[in-house]
Structure 1
Amino acid sequence: MTTTVPTYRPDVYAPDAILDPYPHYERMRALGPVVRLAKQGVLAVTRHDDCKQVLLDDATFVSGRGVALNPVANRLGRGTTLNSDGEEHDRRRRLLASRLTPKALRSMRDEVEQRADAVVAAAVQRKHVDGVVDIAEALPTSFVPDLIGWPEEGRENLLRWAGATFDSLGPVNGQTVRTAPSTIGMMRFARSVVRRGAVLPGSMGADLLEKVGSGEVQRGECPALMIDYLAPSLDTTISAIASALMLLAEHPDQWAALKVDPSLIPNTVNEVVRLESPLRAFSRYVERGAEIGGVTVGAGSRVVVFYASANRDERFWDAPDRFDITRNATPQLGFGQGAHGCAGQGLARLETQSILRSVVRRVDRLEITGAPTWGLNNIIHKLDHLPLRLVADGKGQ
């Protein structure tokens, strides 16, 4: 073991690094299993096996002291599933788990697929579309708010609020400061919804308020729990759908293979999440001294787990920068691992697969008609705009 940790001096949360992160990840991986981020003063883990080790050892690398890189967000995040450990984490996760089980997802499959097909049909009718606004955002924003129970009022702000919630989990930088009012606005709105009981009947939010009445949940927990499930259920899914459209348009050979064999759609989603991971990184607090890749990490340290780097680690993946829908992409870490694996990943997969099934059926060619635009966010890797031309498949109408 060694306590020698190399330092990485560029700011990986600077705007240029957010927009083009992969050269930074590659250089950090080359430095060693653990590197110190000079700008943030924390440790970073960037290789696949080391990231997986940290994620699976939630007794050593804990989330209860926050997963953000700033103390304000970690303090405000108390009471969420994301920022809890052990029995408390399991209890909070169970509160809403019934809505996200495989059985529950099967019951909503038909509705999701119908909504997805309507989105794609409308896009094909228009021919020239923004793959983000007209397709990727359209399905989650039509379905997830209903599932969670948000009232119709205020929904026009949900995407902005959700993005700000993720921004707040980065370090204190321009992004965090700029989006702080939206972060505060979302929490105020969530508290107002819970206080007024203004959730939709039969929704996750309604389930929570029923549990308040039975004493299973404290009313004060409800706003954070509703946000806990809203933000990831929107941004990560939107990212995956938009990235899938971009990658398939950029790689006609892969698109042709998917048209021939649509059974590759589930694996395509894994490969998209691997190559363009929606989540960049979250941090963990080191509860007790540990070893990562032969490097000793002391108790009280904070370690940032870079999922997006792990998913392109050349030590683990063959030709990691190549988009290949036939590779076994199951070991990708884009949805996390272990106790804190994304609770909504089943829904994200269902929505993304449903869009792709409809696109494969209805579209003959995907053509990018302008430069894709990536968004600035400390945590979420997401396209802001994707100009597309959809050439209809006459057989799919």
Structure 2
Amino acid sequence: MPDTVPAYRRDLYSRAAILDPHPHYARLRDLGPVVRLPRRGYALPRYVECRAVLRDHDTFVSGAGVALNPVTNRMSRNTTLGSDGTDHRRRRTLLAHRMLPRALRTIQEAVQRRAAETVEAALRAGTVDGVALAAALPLSIVPDLVGWPRDGREHLLDWAAATFDALGPLNGRGLRTAGANLAMLRYTRALVRDRALLPGSAGADVLLAADAGEISPAEATALMIDYLAPSLDTTIGALSAALHLFATHPGQWAALRANPGLVPNAVNEAIRYESPIRGFTRTVRRPAEIAGTPLPAGAKVLVLYASANRDPREWDDPDTFDIHRDASRQLGFGYGRHGCAGQALARLEAGAVLTALAERVTRIELAGEPEWLRNNVIRRHARLPLRLVP
């Protein structure tokens, strides 16, 4: 790699950078389209290059792992996230068809009903934790779809967060999740071994595929984690971010209440503004070039979705939250073959909650100081005190 490639020597995974990442992204974008991260490969902070790499599946591959550390990459070989080509298609097809928009129509009424019940309960409480409000629907919908037993759900949020922490570098934060990740792996292996998954669920399909020899037992375990963890934290991150943004932008909330047809726009804009996933890595399969910068085979490239979604080269006034903006091309859920398989479900859940709130709540107000979750990859609140005014 030529010495002319600018280097960013501050740690993107320090406590300060995790709690307030956007100044770091701005500095990275100012340095150039390709930036060297000492000891961690290279980063793409701008929109055009991120989208191009996510589209080029043959050159920038996921099969060598999408984490910033070799340990997690080795452990991810049986996952959809960490695979390419035939393996990726085979694994994704097994579960993703249940999360396509046409398949989700069968649960749309149930999701809307649960969203209304969740909002009614929050209104009775008056003051609520926005993270709990955002988590209520995913925690009641996603485990049922995946087939997780009802008596094994108390650790799901902690386990999901640990899964994402491990996809960052081998820093202290990632290492501290080893116990939680091991516990989730052991529990999921037992579910597969004992066939303890809900009948008719996606997990039951996984067992049938294993019985037919279409996938291995190791793949079956990995697929259960692969679809459960991302389908929780991405939705919770997107919805809690939206709640925080509407609490701090009352004019935008008034606009949504006046025109509920803006709900899909609002979901996309919240994801653009505070992307639930900071970014994943790709490995350069063969010598390549990005924006005139040559990259050697084997190089690691960090695709920074969250930075791309605030790139002023792509977005007018990107640091402004505006639900009238067409943010449909945001990269918060990835793009291309590896785009989040559960994004239609996330939009359905987030949209249902925002619609129920718009029908019943005149104002969303902060009732205390929000706290961001300290996580290597996930960007979401850990605590979000809110007051809902009927």
Report the TM range for the smaller structure's normalisation.
over 0.9
* Alignment of structure 1 residues 318-333 onto 2, 5 Å: 318-333=316-331
Secondary structure, aligned partner of 1:8: coil
Tell whether 2:46 aligns with 1:7: no
TM-score (norm 1): 0.97
Farther-moved stretch of structure 1 (206-215 vs 281-290): 206-215
CA distance in 1, matches of 2:102, 2:46: 34
Question: Counterpart of 2:7 in structure 1: which amino acid?
Answer: T
Tell me the equivalent position of 1:130: 129
CA shift for structure 1 position 191: 0.3
CA shift for structure 1 position 41: 3.0
Tell me the equivalent position of 1:114: 113
Question: Counterpart of 1:267 in structure 2: which amino acid?
Answer: N
Tell me the equivalent position of 1:354: 352
Tell me the equivalent position of 1:73: 72
CA shift for structure 1 position 218: 2.1
CA shift for structure 1 position 88: 1.1
Farther-moved stretch of structure 1 (97-106 vs 309-318): 97-106
Farther-moved stretch of structure 1 (69-78 vs 206-215): 206-215
Secondary structure, aligned partner of 2:192: helix
Tell whether 2:58 aligns with 1:59: yes
Secondary structure, aligned partner of 1:72: helix
CA distance in 2, matches of 1:60, 1:102: 30
Structure 1 segments of 4+ aligned residues over 3 angstroms from their partners = none
CA shift for structure 1 position 197: 0.4
Given candidates 189, 197, 200, the residue that maps to 1:199 is 197
8 Å CA contact retained: 2:371, 2:381: yes
1:41–1:208 Cα change, 3 Å: closer
* Alignment of structure 1 residues 125-274 onto 2, 5 Å: 125-133=124-132, 135-274=133-272
CA distance in 1, matches of 2:2, 2:110: 54
Question: Counterpart of 1:302 in structure 2: which amino acid?
Answer: K
CA distance in 1, matches of 2:205, 2:6: 49
8 Å CA contact retained: 2:19, 2:372: yes
Tell me the equivalent position of 1:383: 381
CA shift for structure 1 position 3: 6.6
Tell whether 2:15 aligns with 1:23: no
Farther-moved stretch of structure 1 (114-123 vs 211-220): 211-220
TM-score (norm 2): 0.98
Secondary structure, aligned partner of 1:388: strand
Tell whether 2:99 aligns with 1:100: yes
8 Å CA contact retained: 2:64, 2:82: yes
CA distance in 1, matches of 2:358, 2:164: 32
8 Å CA contact retained: 1:66, 1:78: yes
CA shift for structure 1 position 298: 1.1
CA distance in 2, matches of 1:238, 1:252: 21
List runs of 5+ in structure 2 lacking aligned partners: none
Question: Counterpart of 2:48 in structure 1: which amino acid?
Answer: D
8 Å CA contact retained: 1:3, 1:296: no
Question: Counterpart of 1:14 in structure 2: which amino acid?
Answer: S
Question: Counterpart of 2:12 in structure 1: which amino acid?
Answer: V
Tell me the equivalent position of 2:88: 89
CA shift for structure 1 position 216: 2.2
Tell me the equivalent position of 1:41: 40
Superposition CA RMSD, Å: 1.1
CA shift for structure 1 position 116: 1.0
8 Å CA contact retained: 1:239, 1:382: yes
Secondary structure, aligned partner of 1:187: helix
* Alignment of structure 1 residues 278-293 onto 2, 5 Å: 278-293=276-291
1:3–1:338 Cα change, 3 Å: farther
CA shift for structure 1 position 295: 1.0
CA distance in 1, matches of 2:51, 2:229: 24
CA distance in 2, matches of 1:41, 1:225: 27
Question: Counterpart of 1:163 in structure 2: which amino acid?
Answer: A
CA distance in 2, matches of 1:89, 1:380: 23
Write the deviation string for residues 251-306 of structure 1: whole angstroms up to 9, x where unpaired. Answer: 11111110100000001000000000000010000001111111111111000000
Question: Counterpart of 1:314 in structure 2: which amino acid?
Answer: P
CA distance in 2, matches of 1:91, 1:318: 39
Question: Counterpart of 1:5 in structure 2: which amino acid?
Answer: V
Write the deviation string for residues 210-244 of structure 1: whole angstroms up to 9, x where unpaired. Answer: 12222322222111001000011000000011011
Tell me the equivalent position of 1:336: 334
The count of residues paired between Structure 1 and Structure 2 equals 390
Question: Counterpart of 1:50 in structure 2: which amino acid?
Answer: E
8 Å CA contact retained: 1:264, 1:325: yes
8 Å CA contact retained: 1:3, 1:297: no
List runs of 5+ in structure 1 lacking aligned partners: 393-397
Question: Counterpart of 1:68 in structure 2: which amino acid?
Answer: A
8 Å CA contact retained: 1:4, 1:295: no
Question: Counterpart of 2:189 in structure 1: which amino acid?
Answer: R
8 Å CA contact retained: 1:3, 1:295: no
CA shift for structure 1 position 2: 7.0
Secondary structure, aligned partner of 1:315: coil
Secondary structure, aligned partner of 2:197: coil
Farther-moved stretch of structure 1 (166-175 vs 289-298): 289-298
Write the deviation string for residues 62-119 of structure 1: whole angstroms up to 9, x where unpaired. Answer: 0000000111100000110000001110111001122112221111111111111111
CA distance in 2, matches of 1:318, 1:88: 39
Secondary structure, aligned partner of 1:98: helix
Secondary structure, aligned partner of 1:348: helix
CA distance in 2, matches of 1:61, 1:156: 37
